[in-house]
Chain A
């Protein structure tokens, strides 16, 4: 019998951007090995991490994701030789930008999971889910998106007036 499932007040949405060749296959392996993990994650398949545009991460947060996972082949194992090196550089820079706009970097995980690492996939998804659950919903982007206040909060009378005048 399975232990009684714990009920939570908050179920975070996790979105995972993964490459077909390694991480997607690793997640498949977790399935064929019948490993269990939280059902919060939604997987988007890419040919390679090289294809993953940082805009997608922003978009995901904006659409209500509370945590984002980016994962591909280990360095040196990329099916397209070097796509993951470009991705790594891109995300190193991008993290700084995210931090600057106020995203808690704990919500974003970047890591390598090979086609043989079903266990690592489970571990990562579980960890991220639990971590983000602890952090609570990611509200910043949603509020921004709702109020169209990309340049900052409109929290004074003058600003509100100016905003309405546009």
Chain B
């Protein structure tokens, strides 16, 4: 027989005005299993809570219903009070007779009757409540950052500065990402290399950061606080410990005509190379596809000239396993290419712009490399085809972006600003040149952004034409740009020397594969999804995984850095305790009943359900059952409503509790 205590609150007059609280208490007393019932002016006040605590011991209560305001207000308060009195807090329920009763009804008879019924339902429910203990999960205080662009570097530095270990994994031979490729940056036009390279060096030298470049995440297992991550360190063919970064190998390598992707193929590199002179680490890697040794077994010049003997043709990929507590994904973006796309692809190319075959039609990043002082032309803006200075240059915004018919309907956010920047850089370098910009509208919502954009027109003489470009084609050594000016309602034709396309920002090719490894979700374009667009913008729905930078959506550097620091703060919050404590509202599987259909696994929004093998002492497999990882379970209960054999149960919301409540109707 239960010994339930019922405490009915007047809430001053808020409840007692329309509910006869005394009558509710008297009625509650008569419910079977209720050992004590009373009413009190303010249950949540100190004397009210003391009343509750006293009653717990005096009447030896094993369950409590507080009939008062919404549990969203004071459930915590009363659970704490019960805890203090030695009663398991999860044996306390609240009957909401204020928001759901006294405040919404005027008739005292009706409201009193309803309040009594609500209390009865909760008394029946609380009889079925079980004692629950908060769940604790150990936390490994080491963070994994995937992607070494500005987002990853910033997050790594913040976490490392806080005293925690960081493992930074970068796919390319050097960290730096896109920012290392930029010339000067809006809205202040400071040189990107000058602000970026010190951060890259800081990250590499930080005692708390382990850098794995030319590496990728191979496999992720575990859950928040307890991930096991396998990292594939690709064979660099150069011993990082021995290499001094002297660069003799690169100078002597006979294979020198390999287009350098870092320079958007404008410059050339050798087969043993660093992507750019300021690379971090400054250790070359051998591109095995283009190396004579790997192709034909001959050459080996680099090995011969290397003083410290660092070149090692026999090196193999290495697999490293790291224990990780939290993961920050910062894999950045890729630029849309206007080239022909494979058949059936939702994203289309631009045949009307020549499908990328006109050499002097380039994208924004190629322009950055041309304008960069450390770029392939030393900062001279020239045509890739013949090295001549373009006197008429046309910029086209929103190529691929906001173009539903091309498969992308979002705005890439950064192109208005970087195109304005490009017109300025162009004007600074080609004084007698003229820049035109075709644009839909200028989106400049950032600090100092609109001023910056205006400057490109007012001081740097860029001519902005509101309208779209319908076609680009070659005529002699010119490119004819056919477009419309919708402000004037006319067709425009410009004979340009060079055309720069502000192409859409897209997620990395294969972004979804990494997401699948991590168990995080992504949108229709493959940008990674945050848990809540407004209130949880840096957390993934998968606990322990956070997002930073352009992998989550198009972003400029200030936004990227803010988000990276925010993600770092989330990681540091997690690492501030040795153990993660959470409400025990999680699902549990009754293994005897589980028929291993794994419907629960299919519906669980958190990927909390795992397959577990049950073996006898000899190790023979008896059966496979579902197992809910309490560290991952969000507590929605979808699995329970789905399970055909009723073998999985959400603590705090069991069938018994709910049925008891309904039966009290």
Contact among A28, A83, A86 with B72 in the assembled complex (CB-CB below 8 Å) = A28
A32-46 residues with Cβ-Cβ distance < 8 A to B are 32, 34-37, 39, 42-46
Smallest beta-carbon distance B117→chain A, Å: 6
Q: Are B636 and A48 in contact (CB under 8 A)?
A: yes
B71 at the binding interface (Cβ < 8 Å): yes
Smallest beta-carbon distance B96→chain A, Å: 7
A102-139 residues with Cβ-Cβ distance < 8 A to B are 122
Q: Are B653 and A46 in contact (CB under 8 A)?
A: yes
Q: Are A32 and B99 in contact (CB under 8 A)?
A: yes
Contact among B105, B641, B650, B662 with A36 in the assembled complex (CB-CB below 8 Å) = B105
Q: Are A50 and B662 in contact (CB under 8 A)?
A: no
Q: Are B111 and A39 in contact (CB under 8 A)?
A: yes
Q: Which residues of B contact A13 (CB under 8 A)?
A: 665
Q: Which residues of A contact B531 (CB under 8 A)?
A: 81
Smallest beta-carbon distance A131→chain B, Å: 19
B605 at the binding interface (Cβ < 8 Å): yes
Q: Would you give the 0/1 interface string for B622-644, flagging 1 where the beta carbon is closer than 8 Å to chain A?
A: 00000000000011111011100
Interface of A is mostly: mixed
The residue of chain B having its C-beta at the shortest distance from the C-beta of A40 within the complex is B114
Q: Would you give the 0/1 interface string for A48-79, flagging 1 where the beta carbon is closer than 8 Å to chain B?
A: 10111111100110011100000000000011
The residue of chain A having its C-beta at the shortest distance from the C-beta of B71 within the complex is A45
The residue of chain B having its C-beta at the shortest distance from the C-beta of A53 within the complex is B641
| A48-B100 in contact given A60-B665, A63-B662 (Cβ < 8 Å) | no
Contact among B72, B606, B665 with A15 in the assembled complex (CB-CB below 8 Å) = B665
Q: Are A51 and B653 in contact (CB under 8 A)?
A: yes
Q: Which residues of B contact A55 (CB under 8 A)?
A: 655
Q: Are B636 and A80 in contact (CB under 8 A)?
A: yes
Q: Are B650 and A51 in contact (CB under 8 A)?
A: yes
Q: Are B638 and A86 in contact (CB under 8 A)?
A: yes
A56–B125 Cα distance when bound, in Å, is: 14
Q: Which residues of B contact A47 (CB under 8 A)?
A: 585, 635-637, 650, 652-653
Q: Which residues of B contact A15 (CB under 8 A)?
A: 662, 665
B416 at the binding interface (Cβ < 8 Å): no
| A48-B104 in contact given A39-B114, A63-B663 (Cβ < 8 Å) | no
Q: Are A28 and B99 in contact (CB under 8 A)?
A: yes
Q: Are A44 and B605 in contact (CB under 8 A)?
A: no
Q: Which residues of B contact A78 (CB under 8 A)?
A: 605, 636
B118 at the binding interface (Cβ < 8 Å): yes
A55–B659 Cα distance when bound, in Å, is: 9
B106 at the binding interface (Cβ < 8 Å): yes
Q: Which residues of A contact B71 (CB under 8 A)?
A: 45
Q: Which residues of A contact B662 (CB under 8 A)?
A: 15, 44, 56, 59-60, 63
Q: Which residues of A contact B636 (CB under 8 A)?
A: 47-48, 50-51, 78-80, 83
| A42-B659 in contact given A34-B103, A48-B636, A81-B605 (Cβ < 8 Å) | no
Contact among A39, A51, A65 with B637 in the assembled complex (CB-CB below 8 Å) = A51
B52-100 residues with Cβ-Cβ distance < 8 A to A are 70-72, 96, 98-100
A63–B531 Cα distance when bound, in Å, is: 39
Q: Would you give the 0/1 interface string for A80-109, flagging 1 where the beta carbon is closer than 8 Å to chain B?
A: 111100110010000000000000000000
Which of A27, A78, A86 has the most B CB atoms < 10 Å from its CB? A86
Q: Are B72 and A25 in contact (CB under 8 A)?
A: yes
Q: Are A63 and B665 in contact (CB under 8 A)?
A: yes
Q: Are B658 and A56 in contact (CB under 8 A)?
A: yes
Smallest beta-carbon distance A42→chain B, Å: 6
B541 at the binding interface (Cβ < 8 Å): yes
Smallest beta-carbon distance B583→chain A, Å: 10
Q: Are B655 and A50 in contact (CB under 8 A)?
A: no
The residue of chain B having its C-beta at the shortest distance from the C-beta of A83 within the complex is B636
Q: Which residues of A contact B663 (CB under 8 A)?
A: 59, 63
Q: Are A86 and B121 in contact (CB under 8 A)?
A: no
B661 at the binding interface (Cβ < 8 Å): yes
Q: Are B605 and A83 in contact (CB under 8 A)?
A: yes
A36–B106 Cα distance when bound, in Å, is: 8
Q: Would you give the 0/1 interface string for B351-362, flagging 1 where the beta carbon is closer than 8 Å to chain A?
A: 000000000000
Q: Are A28 and B111 in contact (CB under 8 A)?
A: no
Q: Are B640 and A53 in contact (CB under 8 A)?
A: yes
Contact among B98, B606, B641 with A90 in the assembled complex (CB-CB below 8 Å) = B641
| A82-B101 in contact given A47-B637, A51-B636, A51-B638 (Cβ < 8 Å) | no
Q: Are A27 and B605 in contact (CB under 8 A)?
A: no
A3-36 residues with Cβ-Cβ distance < 8 A to B are 5, 13, 15, 20, 24-25, 27-28, 30-32, 34-36
Contact among A24, A37, A59, A86 with B642 in the assembled complex (CB-CB below 8 Å) = A86
Q: Which residues of B contact A50 (CB under 8 A)?
A: 603, 605, 636-638, 641
Smallest beta-carbon distance B121→chain A, Å: 7
Smallest beta-carbon distance A125→chain B, Å: 9
The residue of chain B having its C-beta at the shortest distance from the C-beta of A20 within the complex is B72
Q: Are B106 and A51 in contact (CB under 8 A)?
A: no
A83–B640 Cα distance when bound, in Å, is: 11
Smallest beta-carbon distance A114→chain B, Å: 13
Smallest beta-carbon distance A55→chain B, Å: 8
Smallest beta-carbon distance A139→chain B, Å: 16
The residue of chain B having its C-beta at the shortest distance from the C-beta of A115 within the complex is B72
Q: Which residues of A contact B316 (CB under 8 A)?
A: none
Smallest beta-carbon distance A40→chain B, Å: 8
| A43-B100 in contact given A81-B605, A86-B642 (Cβ < 8 Å) | yes
Q: Which residues of B contact A122 (CB under 8 A)?
A: 104
Which of B100, B111, B636 has the most A CB atoms < 10 Å from its CB? B636
Q: Are B665 and A42 in contact (CB under 8 A)?
A: yes
B616 at the binding interface (Cβ < 8 Å): no
Q: Which residues of B contact A25 (CB under 8 A)?
A: 72
Q: Are A43 and B641 in contact (CB under 8 A)?
A: no
A25–B72 Cα distance when bound, in Å, is: 8
Q: Would you give the 0/1 interface string for B477-499, flagging 1 where the beta carbon is closer than 8 Å to chain A?
A: 00000000000000000000000
A30–B662 Cα distance when bound, in Å, is: 23
Name 13 interchain pairs, CB-CB below 8 A, sorted by A.
Answer: A28-B99, A31-B99, A32-B103, A36-B105, A44-B121, A45-B71, A48-B637, A51-B641, A55-B655, A59-B662, A60-B662, A81-B521, A87-B638
Query: Which 9 A-B residue pairs are closest in the complex by CB-CB distance?
Result: A51-B637, A31-B99, A50-B638, A80-B636, A81-B605, A48-B636, A31-B103, A53-B641, A83-B636
| Seed contacts A53-B640, A86-B603, A87-B638; 5 additional CB < 8 Å A-B pairs | A42-B665, A44-B121, A50-B605, A81-B634, A86-B642
